[in-house]
């Protein structure tokens, strides 16, 4: 079975919307800096 659109899912923090490459928990440098 194939799905046209499967949302991104992070297996590290178990949150939908991003994957391991974009995970703030794994990559703190990706987190937006406060001024």
* pLDDT tens digit at each of 35 positions of the chain: 888 999 999 999 999 999 999 998 898 888 888 76
pTM of model > 0.75: no
Instruction: Please tell me the predicted confidence (pLDDT) of residue 15.
Output: 92
Q: Which two tokens stand for residue 11?
A: 């297996």
Instruction: Please tell me the predicted confidence (pLDDT) of residue 27.
Output: 87
Instruction: Please tell me the predicted confidence (pLDDT) of residue 14.
Output: 92
Instruction: Please tell me the predicted confidence (pLDDT) of residue 11.
Output: 93
Closest CA to 11 of 25, 28, 1: 25
Instruction: Please tell me the predicted confidence (pLDDT) of residue 9.
Output: 94
Q: Over the chain, what HEC string results? A: CCCCCCCCECCCCCCECCCHHHCCCCCHHHCCCCC
Cβ contact 19:8 at 8 Å? yes
């Amino acid at each position: 079975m194939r799905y046209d659109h499967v949302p991104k899912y992070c297996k590290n923090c178990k949150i939908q919307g991003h994957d391991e490459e974009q995970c703030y928990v794994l990559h703190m440098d990706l987190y937006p800096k406060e001024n």
